[in-house]
Amino acid sequence: MSPTRPIVVAGAGSIGCFVGGMLADAGRKVALLARPRVIADIERNGLRLTSFEGLDRRVPADRLLLSEDNSVFADASIILVTVKSADTASIADAIAQHAPRDAVIVSLQNGVGNAAVLRQRLKDWTVLGGMVPFNVLASGDGHFHRATSGVIALERDQAGTADRLSVPDLVVRATDNMAGVQWGKLLLNLNNALNALSGLPLREQLSQRAWRRLLADQMTEALAAMKAEGVSSVSSTPVPAGLTPHLLRLPDALFRALAGSTIKIDAHARSSMWEDLQRGRRTEIDYLQGVILEIAERRGLKVPLTRRIVALIRAAETAGKGSPGLMPDQIRG
């Protein structure tokens, strides 16, 4: 990674601004490809990066190259793709048009299929899959708050890209089983939709057994689909994926005793899907629950809860009124 060539964040929203800002704070040359609204906020206020663990960093706007033009890829050394899954193909085409062939492309997106889409369209580039375990909230005025914990996982390559991207307070670790890590994250991300439908902060939602049982039942459907598909997951928590539904179904007091120390969530954190509904944006439901639905339909499996949750999210998208604030029994129907 040349110190004179920038790391470009492609689609700098909440995750992209936080990751790019932390890299810039550590002295890396960083460019953010972002919407005009995000650029205007950063130009006025700089970046403020905080976390529930006490992190508080400020990155002046002049430490960043801010652009809404795809030509920003022209001298990139590494491109961190953080766009929504539905935009992966279009950002890949923009990269193909502008980026040098020796740029390393890194997918830091939800879901399990984005790196494959990038590889299909960027055959002459090195493309690495990645997984961001934490949640970032956009508070406005250039302020981005990391509300959950975790270490970024990145597919191992000979160039040691994971080590090259790892900086203080933003650890990146290489893995030899990126697919397993991504499937493990997908299982946990099944809660994104429940959180969006509830409107509750994540910590409050997960403290209630009725909500945890909904997540556990979704996971059970997903694990059956994954087994039929012949895929396995690497758990993002100390609890193996197959045991997680059983842990989630425990009574509140026992759940807190066994899992309380492993769940590190800001009191105000909500899922990115909740934020999408609040802002009237299309969610990533097709790339989370939708993946399980597709497998189930192809394998002849019944996944009624997954199907119901997809329908409720799509109805909320159509209504355009933010989170519908449903209760668990309403979700079960």
Residue with tokens 């060539």, as numbered in its chain:
5
pLDDT band at residue 260 using 50, 70 and 90 as cut-offs: low
Pairing of strands 136-140, 143-146: antiparallel
Position with higher pLDDT, 135 vs 260: 135
- Tell me the mean pLDDT in the region 146-163: 95
CATH of domain 7-176: 3.40.50.720
pTM of the model: 0.93
**Rounded-to-integer distance, Cα 107 and Cα 94, Å:** 15
At 264 the pLDDT is: 76
CATH of domain 179-332: 1.10.1040.10
Q: What is the pLDDT of residues 40-84, one digit of tens each?
A: 999 999 999 999 999 999 999 999 999 999 999 999 999 999 999
Mean of the per-residue pLDDT values of the chain: 95
pLDDT band at residue 1 using 50, 70 and 90 as cut-offs: low
Residue with tokens 């905080």, as numbered in its chain:
50
Long-range contacts from 210-215, C-beta under 8 angstroms, 24+ separation: 210/328, 210/329, 211/328, 212/248, 212/249, 212/255, 213/248, 213/249, 213/328, 214/305, 214/328, 214/331, 214/332, 215/190, 215/191, 215/248
pLDDT band at residue 262 using 50, 70 and 90 as cut-offs: low
**Where are the CATH 1.10.1040.10 domain residues in the chain?**
179-332
Q: Which of 47, 38, 132, 37 has the alpha carbon at shortest distance from 82?
A: 132
**Where are the CATH 3.40.50.720 domain residues in the chain?**
7-176
